Amino acid sequence: MFVDRKEELSFLEERFKSKTAQLIILYGRRRIGKTELLKQFSKNKKHIFFSADLSSEQEQLRQFTEAIYYETKDEFLKTQRFTSWESLLRYLFTRVSVSDKIPIIIDEFPYLCVSNPALPSILQKVWDSESEKKPLFLILSGSYMSFMEKEVLSSKSPLFGRRTAQIFLKPLPFKEIRQFFPSYSKTNLVYAYSILGGTPAYLEKFENGLTIEENVKRKILNKNEFLYEEPRFLLMEELREPSLYFAILKAIASGKTRLNEIVQDTGIEPGYKANKYLTVLRELGIVRRELPVTEEKPYKSRKSLYFIDDPFFRFWFRYVYPNISYLEDGDINYVWGEKISPDIDSFTGFVFEDICIAKIKELNLRNKLPFKAERIGRWWDKSSEIDVVAYNKEGKYMFFECKWRRKKLGTKILNELKDKAEKFVTAKEKYFGFFSKSGFSKELIRIAKENDNIFLFDYFSD
């Protein structure tokens, strides 16, 4: 099922129409939908699509030759085999003429570089000699985040200066998952998103006709299902010393978000070693580091908090990994009833904040806030925190609370937010916004109507 990606498809189509050579880098985490995006882009075009794997260089050359023959039907390729990447690439680029422009797509490019680390340099050499002669259109795609950023995109890469564009493919936004679960209520859509995130491959595993409980039990907690082992397999493929990374992720998922808390919980000493592991997890896009939105010197700040960036990994390390022994014995009902169900609203509350932040950024983009905000994000100090703060250099501030609770929000939370906002002594204008799972009390609705600096938002509206 292909959902959304309108912006990325439009961008690729625009670049494909260019009269100059295009070398586009597409990267993003596994299961995020890169291959499906490329197939969608190329499905109505003549194209050469090669998906690499971890086989030998000779086998990769053979498979790539077959992919070229499938499109060109050149009899030459039946009798001749390429013995080097340079000869294959020169043939490939030479075959593409101005009158017959076709996309050339290499999916999982890092796998090719495993079999031959010199491939980026070889590609750079051939690209430089051929791209000036004709409008080649080449897409390199990859899931190994650190490799793509360091060996393909960085200034030290042989391909630096050759790429004409790059697309970092992110998870689907919350508003798009309605297409996976058309019969779900907006509350259940939030639960589904808090568990699976915006990764298409995970969203496809849940069934629209099942409840959240049924889907979790059948699709995640069942030891024979794909999602049960997914994070383990991905991390073991990506990381050395996986047990240490697992310990860190389990600590973060349980609420240990400060570096010293993670060190104490995992026993990884000294602290700089844990920091090194956290850096690797950040490079992979699994963990994110957050600072108060008002922090002026982020690189020097000691106020860092660490969160698991992917909701499904967060769910897995909070509920699946710590309960493996029960699940291996098939005690699914116990894990759901005693570990997940009583805690699910607390767990969902954090992801609900992320949903609201995305909504606030969308409203800001559409000029639907009281002012144009320059920065939007969470805020905290030693004694208090505010779910979201948006502000600009003119001293205009908007403070938000995003509450995933079973009861309606009332005036108490408004007064509490106003008290916390008193700490922002430089604010010239203050506005207050609220998002709520269960709606708002009649009194809060009345106050919002009577005051032009108080706003009640619907997280689900278009």
pTM: 0.91
Choice between 295 and 96, residue whose per-residue pLDDT is larger? 295
Structure-model confidence comparison of residues 234 and 424, the more confident one: 424
The set of long-range contacts for 452-460, using a CB threshold of 8 Å and a minimum separation of 24, is 453/370, 453/429, 454/414, 455/370, 455/431, 457/356, 457/359, 457/363, 457/433, 459/190, 459/352, 459/355, 459/356, 459/359, 459/402, 459/435, 460/186, 460/189
Q: Which of 73-77, 134-138, 227-231 has the lowest mean pLDDT?
A: 73-77
For residue 97, the model assigns a pLDDT of: 53
Condensed to tens digits (0 to 9), the pLDDT of residues 340-362 reads 999 999 999 999 999 999 999 99
Instruction: Say if residue 301's pLDDT is above 90.
Output: no
Phi first, then psi, for residue 308 (nearest 5°) are -75, 125
Is there a contact between 235 and 252 (Cβ–Cβ < 8 Å)?
Answer: no
In angstroms, the CA 340 to CA 336 distance is 5
CATH of span 6-168: 3.40.50.300
Q: What does the pLDDT look like over 146-196, one tens digit per residue?
A: 788 888 998 889 999 899 999 999 999 999 999 999 999 999 999 999 999
Helices (H), 32-179: 34-42, 57-72, 76-79, 85-95, 109-115, 119-130, 145-147
Asked if pLDDT for residue 381 goes beyond 80, the answer is: yes
Structure tokens at 76: 């030459």
Give the lowest-confidence range in 150-159, 318-327, 389-398. 150-159
When pLDDT is averaged across residues 92-104 and rounded to a whole number, the result is: 75
Pair of tokens at residue 81: 């085999």
The predicted pLDDT at position 303 comes to 87
pLDDT over 90, % of the chain:
76
Are 410 and 443 within 8 A, CB to CB? yes
Distance between CA atoms of residues 46 and 72, nearest Å:
10
Question: H or E element: which one contains 192?
Answer: helix 186-196
Residue 236 has pLDDT above 60, yes or no: yes
Domain-wise residue ranges, the chain: 6-168, 175-348, 369-457
pLDDT at residue 199 tops 70: yes
Which pair of tokens denotes residue 160? 């630096």
**Mean pLDDT over residues 8-17, rounded?**
95
What does the alpha-carbon distance between residue 26 and residue 36 come to, in Å, rounded to a whole number?
Answer: 12
Indicate if the alpha-carbon torsion angle 145, 5, 233, 286 is positive or negative: positive
* HSE-up (13 A, CA, CB side) for residue 308: 29
Q: Which of the four CATH numbers 3.40.50.300, 3.90.1330.10, 3.40.1350.10, 3.20.20.20 does domain 369-457 have? A: 3.40.1350.10
| CB contact set of 269 (below 8 Å; sequence gap of 6+) | 263
Q: How far apart are CA 143 and CA 313, in angstroms?
A: 17
Distance, CA of 268 to CA of 275 (rounded, Å): 10
Q: Quick one: pLDDT at residue 70?
A: 85
Residue 134's pLDDT is: 84
pLDDT of residue 293: 95
pLDDT of residue 396: 98
- Measured CA to CA, the distance from residue 115 to residue 60 in angstroms comes to 9
For range 5-34, the mean pLDDT = 93
Mean pLDDT score, 254-266: 93
User: What does the mean pLDDT of the chain come to?
Assistant: 92
Inter-residue contact 378 to 347 (CB < 8 Å): no
Burial class (CB in 10 A: 0-12, 13-18, 19+), 330: exposed
Identify the CATH assignment for 175-348 out of 3.40.50.970, 3.30.565.10, 1.20.1050.10, 1.10.10.10.
1.10.10.10
